[in-house]
Structure 1
Amino acid sequence: MITTSVAEAASCLKKGQVLAYPTEAVWGLGCDPYNEQAFLEILRLKQRPIEKGVILLAANVAQVEHLLQGLTEDMRQQVIATWTNRKPNERATTWLLPAGDHIPTWIKGNHPKVAVRVTTHSLCVALCQAFNGFIVSTSANPAGLTPARSLQEANQYFSNELNYLNGDLGLSKEPSKIIDAETGEIIRA
């Protein structure tokens, strides 16, 4: 299915289906992070090992507030500022946050932390709001291949094996940088 309806796309996620959708810089694959079968389907499509973990994408800080609890107030404010003060053409920032017991092990992979990004991409914001929570966000490509930058490229990779929310990419030229919130270590520059 290819749709431009955010409600229809969110319904696919709620039904345990995989969805391809445009993000700030590349197309992503998403699902309900609490649905293990849907998540394993993403791994199958991407030919990606479970040990690597994936990013969670949220519409706003409130959706991930429980994951910010383990940070100092200064670090919490720094994380939130990168999410909320980003210009449309500026590269997004994903933060590694303490996962606690809130996040399924399959999302974290072999890591004690979880990668989280609050987006300003209007279609992604609307999708997370319609889903009523954060979603999985991993690049739409089989492992080792270039991430899709259009519906046509995503469809060439995955054909009719999943659903597509058609829309425009954001203005960023690169996928998000990834930083460990507790140590400041840059994981992906």
Structure 2
Amino acid sequence: MEKLVNIHDAAEGLKAGKTLLYPTDTVWGLGCDASNEEAIQKIFDVKNRPKEQSFIVLVDSVAMLERYVANIPEVCFDLIDFAARPLTIIYDEPINLPKSLLAADGTIAIRVTEDMNCKKLIQRLRKPLVSTSANISGQANANSFAEISDAIKKSVDLILNERLEEVMRKPSSIIKVGSDNGVKVIR
């Protein structure tokens, strides 16, 4: 399959505005450079997703997170450090990200990834990475590369050639932490 690429070529493709199908620390994901409006639009199109449904963004560290959220509630640092499984946090006051990534209420969902391949992609890109499940909106998540629909595989520009045989885990936990440190479990 000519779309299969290594991490270096995937990062170069992301820099050029391409979309990527890749394994994450949870499920197979569709992604792009989180600062590229055209690439974000392509992900909406590939997923056939309504614009009012936002995406998760992956960062490689708390230091990177601090560049995209104006005021991180103190409790979030402990939640990130002590999470037993991948944890996505919805934050108030996102900064330096396109409006197309924000939820209708102006919040942003961000996960500090522990997956080494995702970290390498983000570090080579030097920007956050959009991450949404590799399925058409409303359909079930694929648990392996083999279960991802041909429509998705054909629609993306690139496919990371890592962990193609691995069965993936469940989606991340999602919580919303308000500026008042109030915590609400979403998933």
> Could you tell me which amino acid in structure 1 is paired with residue 85 of structure 2?
R
Give the structure 2 partner of residue 40 of structure 1. 41
Shift of 1:121: 1.0
Query: For 1:1-189, what aligned pairs fall within 5 Å after superposition?
Result: 1-3=3-5, 5-73=6-74, 75-82=75-82, 86=83, 90-154=84-148, 156-162=150-156, 163-168=158-163, 173-182=169-178, 183-188=182-187
Q: CA RMSD in A?
A: 2.1
Structure 1 residues 124-133 or 64-73, which shifts more? Answer: 64-73
Deviations 1:72-93 (A, max 9, x none): 43x14223314xxx5xxx5310
Q: Contact (CA 8 Å) 1:13, 1:32: kept in 2 or not? A: yes
Distance in structure 2 (CA, Å) of the matches to 1:25 and 1:72: 24
CA 1:19–1:99 in 2, change beyond 3 Å: closer, same or farther? farther
Shift of 1:155: 5.4
Percent identical among aligned pairs is: 33
Q: Contact (CA 8 Å) 1:67, 1:98: kept in 2 or not? A: no
| Poorly superposed stretches of 4+, deviation over 3 Å | 169-172
TM-score (norm 2): 0.87
> Could you tell me which amino acid in structure 2 is paired with residue 164 of structure 1?
I
Secondary structure of the residue that 2:30 maps to in structure 1? strand
Unaligned stretches of 5+ in structure 1? none
> Could you tell me which amino acid in structure 2 is paired with residue 167 of structure 1?
E
Distance in structure 2 (CA, Å) of the matches to 1:42 and 1:29: 7
Distance in structure 2 (CA, Å) of the matches to 1:8 and 1:26: 21
Structure with bigger helix share is 1
TM-score (norm 1): 0.86
Shift of 1:156: 2.0
Aligned length: 180
Distance in structure 2 (CA, Å) of the matches to 1:56 and 1:100: 11
Unaligned stretches of 5+ in structure 2? none
